[in-house]
Amino acid sequence: MKGYILDLKKSENENEVKIAFVEDKETHVLREDFKKYFYLLPQGEAREKLSQHEEVEKVEEVDKKQGKALKITLKNWDSTQKVRDYIEEKELGEPREHQYPGVYRYLIDRNLYPLTYYQVEVKGEEVGKFIEVSELRNEVPALSRCAFDIELDTQGKPDSEVDPIIMISYKDEEDEEVFYWTKEKGTELETIENFLEKLEKKNKQVIEGYNSTNFDWPYLQQRAHINQVKLDLGIDGSSVKVNKRGFGSTAKIFGKLHLDAYKGVEFLTSIGALRLPKNTLEVVYEELCGKEKTDIDHLEIPIYWKEGGEKLEKLKKYNLEDSVAAYEISEQVLPLYQELTRLIGLPPYEITRQSTSNMVEWLLVRESFKFNRLVPRRPTNQEIRARRMNPIKGGYVKAPETGLHEDLVVCDFKSLYPTIVISKNIGPQTLCEDEGCKEEHHESPNGQRFHKNGESLVPQVVEKLVENRDKVKKEIKETKDPEKKKRLEYRSQALKIIANSTFGYLGYPRARWYSRPCAEAITSWGRQYIKETIKKAEEEGFNVIYGDTDGCFIKLKDNQSLQDLKKWLKEINRELPSAMNLEYEGYYPRGLFVSKKGGTAAKKKYALLRDDGKLEIKGFALVRRDWAPIAKKTQKEVIKKVLEEGKPAKAVELVENVVKKLRNKEVDTKDLVIHTTMKKNIDNYNSIGPHVKAAKKLEKEGYKVTAGTVIGYVIKEGNQSISQRAQPIQLVKNKDYDSNYYIDNQVIPATMRILKELGVKESDLKNSGKQSELGKWT
């Protein structure tokens, strides 16, 4: 039969892998015998001693690129630890590749990639052989999906021992339903059962939720247990496997993909594809799907439920909308996860919970196997600490010329670090530390040498990623079908994410392939290339007003045209290594650079007006979540006015109005909320800033606050410190805020940053009421 692997797990039988294999709409459970093994760099009588060990099936000598090693095959999957203890006790050598779960080992050995089509011979439930179906190589399976969300009857902190589930909504492509009970009719038990029946009947491949890993599944599991219902949703009849630990929580359903859209949003945020003030369902839904949804305060839910009638209907609508939102948000992350799965080769569920560094690592592990190399061991905690103490020098940033500029062109190096890795053949194996070595080398500006002709895993893998991406980009151009185009764009994005993460990975203290010399060489070449480029531009007569790591901003003089610049770019690219490319990014009629507080030019902070009228703003308060909306909105308007008009008159007027409104308390409280993430747990802070103080107040009221919680607070009136006046938004009475704080610490500093560059004084903004001398600015 023809299909793809959706999931895998260790079978309840020893030495067997269970595979969820999808053929058309049906998911089959297949099994294959598989013996787990690991490698040993042996010492002493390792071979003899281990051959006699009762848990060892066989010991073979294998040739790996790094030399001879022993391959230790185990009688049972679970005996790895026992055999390792024995090795340590008898000092028989250094074990390698002993830490992978058995199913990963299986995927690597069989060279299998989930969500990729294979032809497979099946005898009963046994797997014969997987043969990749080449005509379907580019086909990504269309997974059937559904989403759910639960509501509780709870006061403040939910307690799964006593607070029942009152409502569960379900949503899929063609269907939606809300299951619930009331004091008059039905029970929690029936509600759960009806929902489970629905899931079973619909039998979708993906089950989605929002924060379902940490909330819905653990809660549902508890309530199901109390009601004595089995949560046996696995395609082999197994239960939902919930593992609720502080950090690496999981909720797995064998044969299905549990997709937590919240994790997806965090992932998009981590790769810089998304940035929001808060990652709540409401905010994310509006941003990604452009739709608003009703929000009911958590404390109100039981009230709506008990009241019945119209209120109950409203609660049902809200509950369903949560599922719809989770469903639609998932639509935006699932295709990317699918492409990453096909690229990295881990089971899809694992991919949805991995960081990019882990993905890079697994890609290297798999490629390592293909090159017959042993995977480097994980660093010890001590090594990690030592690595962390010794950071690597990073990119170069040129201080900008402040002020309002016209005729700007931005150029940047396309994938600077990956292309340096490729051009200079940078990897731990090509790194040459032998000073007398007579081979040909690339020598980095910081004095590291890399063999020109040697083979190294890292540059080979990066090259493959970049080449593949170029191919995919070409395909995108040739493809008319919009669906197929979208798929390819996700594939290109997946390749880009992994290629760009490779440098970070080499400098990541926990990485198996950590290499300080490689990472340092990469950044040293990076600094050299951008500095050289700036220098050459200046020699050519261009005015370079700013640069950061891999890009620079050029201000065209009156006698210079865009054509002149593009001609120069061509020349530059002729001199660069073939993999590297300095690209024309865009033309900007106006751009603004400002000073920092101390008076010198501020880096990483600018606003550009593109030739199509769009604003591109970096670093300013308005792109930061820890400023109040009133300050951000006003700053944005000011930047817009200044860039569009080239003078500050209208902007000054605008700020005056906002100041007036604040004074008169005409500003809505929601425009004053400052959001700050708790990076630590509440007790771990040495200095108590406003967000920590607000968090403490929240905790007192029974709210749960942990590392990762985003605190929203408003500064209220009073003469205590700002922190003491930080009131969490949940506890704010309308319009209880300190106007002066928002004027002097938010709106004025945010806007003065910009207006100062144009000669405006602070007093000009606060003169509201009096006629300000607008004539001055025109």
Partner DNA sequence: GCGAGCAGCGTACCT
Partner DNA sequence: ACAGGTACGCTGCTCGCG
Residues that bind DNA (CB under 7 A): 247, 270-272, 275, 355-358, 391-395, 397, 412, 500-501, 503-505, 507-510, 523, 548-551, 596-598, 600-605, 617-619, 623-626, 675-680, 685-693, 708, 710, 721-724, 745, 749, 753
Instruction: Identify which of residues 162 and 247 has a Cβ nearer to DNA in the complex.
Output: 247
Q: In the bound complex, what is the minimum distance in angstroms from residue 194's beta carbon to DNA?
A: 37
Instruction: Identify which of residues 148 and 267 has a Cβ nearer to DNA in the complex.
Output: 267
Q: In the bound complex, what is the minimum distance in angstroms from residue 681's beta carbon to DNA?
A: 10
User: 153 is written with which tokens?
Assistant: 């009857």
Please give the full DSSP string across 551-596, using - where no structure is assigned. EEEEEPPTT--HHHHHHHHHHHHHHS-TT--EEEEEEEEEEEEEE-
Nearest-CA neighbor of 709 among 671, 670, 680?
A: 680
Nearest-CA neighbor of 500 among 264, 272, 658?
A: 272
Instruction: Identify which of residues 201 and 597 has a Cβ nearer to DNA in the complex.
Output: 597
Q: In the bound complex, what is the minimum distance in angstroms from residue 593's beta carbon to DNA?
A: 11
Instruction: Identify which of residues 475 and 532 has a Cβ nearer to DNA in the complex.
Output: 532
Instruction: Identify which of residues 17 and 416 has a Cβ nearer to DNA in the complex.
Output: 416
Q: Rounded to whole angstroms, how far apart are CA atoms 724 and 731?
A: 14
- Asked if residues 170 and 179 have their Cβ atoms less than 8 Å apart, the reply is yes
Instruction: Identify which of residues 447 and 689 has a Cβ nearer to DNA in the complex.
Output: 689
Nearest-CA neighbor of 491 among 521, 467, 462, 468?
A: 468
Please report which helix (H) or strand (E) contains residue 468, including its range.
helix 457-478
Q: In the bound complex, what is the minimum distance in angstroms from residue 412's beta carbon to DNA?
A: 6
CA atoms within 13 A on the CB side of 241: 14
Contacts of 692 (CB under 8 A, 6+ apart): 678, 682, 685, 723
In the DSSP assignment, the letter for residue 271 is T
Q: What is the b/e burial string over 157-190, where b = at least 16 CB atoms within 10 angstroms of the residue's CB?
A: ebebeebbbbbbbbbbeeebebbbbeeeeeebbe
Instruction: Identify which of residues 128 and 708 has a Cβ nearer to DNA in the complex.
Output: 708
Q: In the bound complex, what is the minimum distance in angstroms from residue 175's beta carbon to DNA?
A: 36
Instruction: Identify which of residues 11 and 739 has a Cβ nearer to DNA in the complex.
Output: 739
Instruction: Identify which of residues 20 and 674 has a Cβ nearer to DNA in the complex.
Output: 674
Q: How far is CA 655 from CA 375, 378, 497, 630, in A?
A: 60, 56, 41, 11
Q: How far is CA 238 from CA 24, 36, 230, 598, 692, in A?
A: 22, 23, 9, 63, 43
Q: In the bound complex, what is the minimum distance in angstroms from residue 391's beta carbon to DNA?
A: 3
Q: In the bound complex, what is the minimum distance in angstroms from residue 45's beta carbon to DNA?
A: 36
Q: How far is CA 120 from CA 28, 144, 330, 369, 491, in A?
A: 12, 22, 30, 23, 25
Instruction: Identify which of residues 1 and 601 has a Cβ nearer to DNA in the complex.
Output: 601
Q: In the bound complex, what is the minimum distance in angstroms from residue 478's beta carbon to DNA?
A: 29
Q: What is the b/e burial string over 244-255, where b = at least 16 CB atoms within 10 angstroms of the residue's CB?
A: beeeebbbbbbb
Q: Which residue has the tokens 């595979």?
A: 19
Instruction: Identify which of residues 101 and 302 has a Cβ nearer to DNA in the complex.
Output: 101
Q: Rounded to whole angstroms, how far apart are CA atoms 542 and 605?
A: 22
Instruction: Identify which of residues 487 and 691 has a Cβ nearer to DNA in the complex.
Output: 691
Q: In the bound complex, what is the minimum distance in angstroms from residue 635's beta carbon to DNA?
A: 11
Q: In the bound complex, what is the minimum distance in angstroms from residue 66's beta carbon to DNA?
A: 25
Q: In the bound complex, what is the minimum distance in angstroms from residue 732's beta carbon to DNA?
A: 16
Q: Rounded to whole angstroms, how far apart are CA atoms 755 and 748?
A: 10
The neighbouring-strand residues paired with 62 are: 69
- Greatest alpha-carbon pair distance for the chain in Å reads 96
Q: In the bound complex, what is the minimum distance in angstroms from residue 398's beta carbon to DNA?
A: 8
Instruction: Identify which of residues 360 and 431 has a Cβ nearer to DNA in the complex.
Output: 360
**Torsion angle in degrees (nearest 10) through CA of 515, 520, 525, 526:** 100
Q: In the bound complex, what is the minimum distance in angstroms from residue 319's beta carbon to DNA?
A: 29
Q: In the bound complex, what is the minimum distance in angstroms from residue 219's beta carbon to DNA?
A: 22
Instruction: Identify which of residues 119 and 269 has a Cβ nearer to DNA in the complex.
Output: 269
Q: What is the b/e burial string over 457-478, where b = at least 16 CB atoms within 10 angstroms of the residue's CB?
A: bbbbbbbebbebbeebeebbee
